[in-house]
Amino acid sequence: MPRDFLKNFFAIQKIKDDKSLNIFGDFIHDQNLWHMRRRSVAGACAIGLFCAFIPLPFQMLIAAGFAIIFRCNLPISAALVWVTNPITMPPLFFLAYKAGVFLTDTHLEPFDFELSFNWLFTELRERWRPFMMGCFFLGTSAALFGFITARVLWRIRVVTFWNKRKLRKLKK
């Protein structure tokens, strides 16, 4: 059922006829961007999860750009960016900061919170390196985990399908 829905939802002819997508040129009409294939789905999982840890706005556009460049499933890569949504972003970015502090062996003093731009820029100046290192580390780890998980789950699904098919043939 979900597979049939996705096939109809991402019909290549509908995408080609959509005038708003013409700004992307012929790149957007690549079938790997829209079809569910093992390579494009696994790559999309890696791209989406890596881009989720980029501490910039418009992560979906960055993921879409990478999906077009690497010819991976565009909707999956854009959807997986939402792992870091407004609710999960603070704890995940705090975890990224802590991982960066550990990786860079940085010892920063605790700070007193003050609600001002001066305080914000002063603290960012001191803490951006461990934060970015942690984001890169967690993004790379999540991408690798997503890629491997997608490949393994795809393989399990294919093996299960072939085993069921073999059993059906034996029963006949």
Which parts of the chain have pLDDT scores under 50? Answer: 1
Residue-wise pLDDT for 49-99, tens only, equals 999 999 999 999 999 999 999 999 999 999 999 999 999 999 999 999 999
Write down the pLDDT at residue 73.
93
pTM of the model: 0.81
Give SS3 for 109. coil
Write down the pLDDT at residue 2.
58
In terms of Cα–Cα distance, which of 19, 35, 115, 30 is closest to 73?
Answer: 35
Give SS3 for 35. coil
Write down the pLDDT at residue 121.
81
The total of structural domains in the chain comes to 1
Q: Rounded CA gap, 78 and 17, in Å?
A: 21
Supply the range of the domain harboring residue 94.
Answer: 2-171
Q: What share of the chain is helix, strand, coil (3-state, %, to 5)?
A: 80, 0, 20
Write down the pLDDT at residue 49.
98
Q: Rounded CA gap, 59 and 80, in Å?
A: 10
